[in-house]
Amino acid sequence: RDRARKLIQKIDEALKRIEQGDYGYCSETGDPIAVKRLEARPIATLGLEAQERHERLEKTKRDD
């Protein structure tokens, strides 16, 4: 249930970004997010490079 609620929240946020004209742009860099990435993950807020950077940072925090 919690996972479904989180997904619904992310979908709602994506819909708001569409309304605001921000959908499809990386929230970190402002660069366009690749169409293939958005097709695979329509709720994506980060471009591929920014997402990879974010995941590396998360991994180093967990390793500490």
| pLDDT, position 61 | 83
Residue 28: other Cβ atoms inside 10 A: 14
Alpha helices in 1-64 (DSSP H): 2-20, 35-40, 48-63
What pTM, to 2 d.p., does this model score?
Answer: 0.80
Determine what percent of the chain is predicted with pLDDT higher than 90. 89
> Residue 58 corresponds to which tokens in the numbers above?
């998360």
| pLDDT, position 62 | 78
Length of the chain: 64
| pLDDT, position 63 | 75
Phi, psi dihedrals of residue 24, rounded to the nearest 5°: 90, 5
For residue 51, pLDDT beyond 80: yes
Amino acid (1-letter code) at residue 19: E
pLDDT tens column, 31-49: 999 999 999 999 999 999 9
Mean pLDDT of 4-32: 96
